Amino acid sequence: MVEYIFDSSYFSFNGVIYVQIDGAAMGNPASGTLAALVMDEVITISLRTLTFDVHFIKLYVDDTIFSIPKGKSDELLLKFNNVHHKLQFTIERESEATIPFLDILLIRNEDGTISTNWYTKPTSSGRMLNYRSQHPTSQKIATITNLMFRAIHLSDERFHRENELKITELLTKNNYPTTLVKRVLNQYKRKVLTDSAGSRGDERTRYYRFPYIQGLSENMSRALQQTNPSTRLAFYPLKCVSSLFSKIKDKTPDDLQSELIYKIPCKDCSRCYIGMTKQYLKNRVYQHRYDCRTINKDKNEKTALAAHHFNEDHNFDFENVTILEKEKNYKRRCIGEMVHISLNETVNLRTDVQNLSTIYHNILERYKRMIRS
């Protein structure tokens, strides 16, 4: 199975498919598991050949920390790099009785014990969720408490005050009001640090994803909690950081996309046909082309597209099919199709939108007037 995963790895670039000749593809679900297996094997082989004892070893993916006798780090690195010529490791040695590992700084005390402190790399930009960004206030408060949680639980008590000042400085640079930062930090220390058991919350509470639109989303959340106190809305932003970057992966051709809502314009009038499909778009378009053949003219059950073609003697522009929306969830796709039918001048049947709730009517009418103006 492992050989098959490696031998079948491929990627595409500029529309050309290439076989990956070495290693597992980045993003392959099996890559992480295979990497963990390889690291276990490398460590096992290396430890067998060492001339000294390892006092402790901690591993997280490819980050590993060892406690070994002084002056033996070169031998350790050599043993690891000799396991396989394509696997080469780097090493970082203890400096001034300290060494960073992941997000903590290990400190070797004079009595032989080890203390820890919250650690951030010197190259860290210090950027985080900006206070002026379009996110709910609850998420900004969570940013403060999460930083406090890391600073407290990853560090020895003697570093808590120092880390608190560090958090305040980081948040201030990201436009968080000082009064808010101090209030949240004090609340955290009172409610969390004094309560070792913590608060587990109401296990019956149910959360639902909801897009965040400043002003509207908060009102929706309050209205929902008034009718159903055990329900909460979990907000997500409409704009993500990934939207700011170019897409380097090859885009899937439109005709090979699926689970979508599409529009086919009529060549002879201003109307169009809107439909949805789970299959490849090219397959669904082929079915529409077939339905418009003369042999299907007297067919009893026709699609609205085929009926318009035969009744009005109009032809559809199958070469300019537009994808309006992609949606994997079937129920959401149905609602989306009805919304798009309501917003466009279509040949679709009235029954195609009969299941759309009337609560959308006023919103859709206002939106249609807005886009027309």
The helix/strand/coil state of 274 is strand
Binned at pLDDT 50, 70 and 90, residue 197 comes out as: very low
Please check whether residue 128 lies inside any domain of the structure. Answer: no
Judge if 232 and 299 occupy the same domain.
no
Would you say residue 53 has pLDDT above 70?
yes
Percent of the chain with pLDDT over 70: 97
Please check whether residue 156 lies inside any domain of the structure. Answer: no
Contacts of residue 7, defined as CB under 8 A and 6 or more positions apart, other chains included, come to: none
Judge if 304 and 220 occupy the same domain.
no
What's the confidence (pLDDT) of residue 128?
92
Please check whether residue 179 lies inside any domain of the structure. Answer: no
Q: Are 222 and 233 in contact (CB under 8 A)?
A: no
Structural domain boundaries enclosing 64: 2-93
Judge if 259 and 357 occupy the same domain.
yes
What's the confidence (pLDDT) of residue 216?
85
What's the confidence (pLDDT) of residue 191?
78
Judge if 350 and 263 occupy the same domain.
yes
Most confident by average pLDDT, 24-33, 179-188, 357-366? 179-188
Arithmetic mean of pLDDT, 169-190: 93
Please check whether residue 191 lies inside any domain of the structure. Answer: no
Arithmetic mean of pLDDT, 217-221: 89
Residue 154 corresponds to which tokens in the numbers above?
Answer: 């990853």
Please check whether residue 221 lies inside any domain of the structure. Answer: yes
DSSP state of 83: S
Give the residue from 58, 93, 128 where a domain finishes: 93
**More confident: 314 or 29:** 314
What's the confidence (pLDDT) of residue 99?
94
Please check whether residue 57 lies inside any domain of the structure. Answer: yes
Q: Which helix (H) or strand (E) element contains residue 318?
A: none
How far from chain centre, in Å, is Cα 29?
15
Please check whether residue 12 lies inside any domain of the structure. Answer: yes
Q: Phi/psi at 253 (nearest 5 deg)?
A: -55, 145
Judge if 298 and 351 occupy the same domain.
yes
Most confident by average pLDDT, 34-48, 171-185, 212-226? 171-185
Residue 272 corresponds to which tokens in the numbers above?
Answer: 């169009």
pLDDT tens digits for range 138-167 = 999 999 999 999 988 899 999 999 999 999
Would you say residue 199 has pLDDT above 60?
no
**Out of 16-20, 84-88, 290-294, 316-320, which region has the weakest mean confidence (pLDDT)?**
16-20
**Out of 4-13, 175-184, 210-219, 297-306, which region has the weakest mean confidence (pLDDT)?**
4-13
Percent of the chain with pLDDT over 90: 55
pLDDT tens digits for range 239-254 = 887 778 777 778 888 9
Q: Where would I find the beta strands (DSSP E) of 150-228?
A: 206-211
Would you say residue 350 has pLDDT above 90?
no
Residue 77 corresponds to which tokens in the numbers above?
Answer: 């690195």
pLDDT tens digits for range 100-119 = 998 999 999 999 899 999 99
Q: Are 159 and 117 in contact (CB under 8 A)?
A: yes
Please check whether residue 155 lies inside any domain of the structure. Answer: no
Tally of domains in the chain: 3
**Out of 171-175, 202-206, 314-318, which region has the weakest mean confidence (pLDDT)?**
202-206
Give the residue among 42, 87, 51 at the shortest CA–CA distance from 72: 51
What's the confidence (pLDDT) of residue 193?
59
**More confident: 255 or 10:** 255
Would you say residue 198 has pLDDT above 60?
no
Give the residue from 93, 115, 144 where a domain finishes: 93
Q: Kindly report the average pLDDT of the chain as a whole number.
A: 89
What's the confidence (pLDDT) of residue 32?
83
Judge if 262 and 355 occupy the same domain.
yes
Binned at pLDDT 50, 70 and 90, residue 195 comes out as: low
As a whole number of angstroms, the distance between CA 289 and CA 310 comes to: 12
As a whole number of angstroms, the distance between CA 365 and CA 342 comes to: 9
pTM, whole model, 2 decimals? Answer: 0.68
What's the confidence (pLDDT) of residue 130?
93
How far from chain centre, in Å, is Cα 136?
18
Contacts of residue 142, defined as CB under 8 A and 6 or more positions apart, other chains included, come to: none
As a whole number of angstroms, the distance between CA 87 and CA 81 comes to: 6
Judge if 215 and 309 occupy the same domain.
no
- β-pairing verdict for 272-277 and 322-326: unpaired
- β-pairing verdict for 260-265 and 322-326: antiparallel
> Residue 36's beta-bridge partner residues?
none
Give the residue from 93, 123, 149 where a domain finishes: 93
Would you say residue 23 has pLDDT above 90?
no
Give the residue among 314, 324, 330, 328 at the shortest CA–CA distance from 274: 324
Judge if 226 and 286 occupy the same domain.
no
Judge if 216 and 276 occupy the same domain.
no
Q: Phi/psi at 115 (nearest 5 deg)?
A: -110, 160
Whole-angstrom CA distances from 126 to 99, 275, 321 are 21, 47, 46
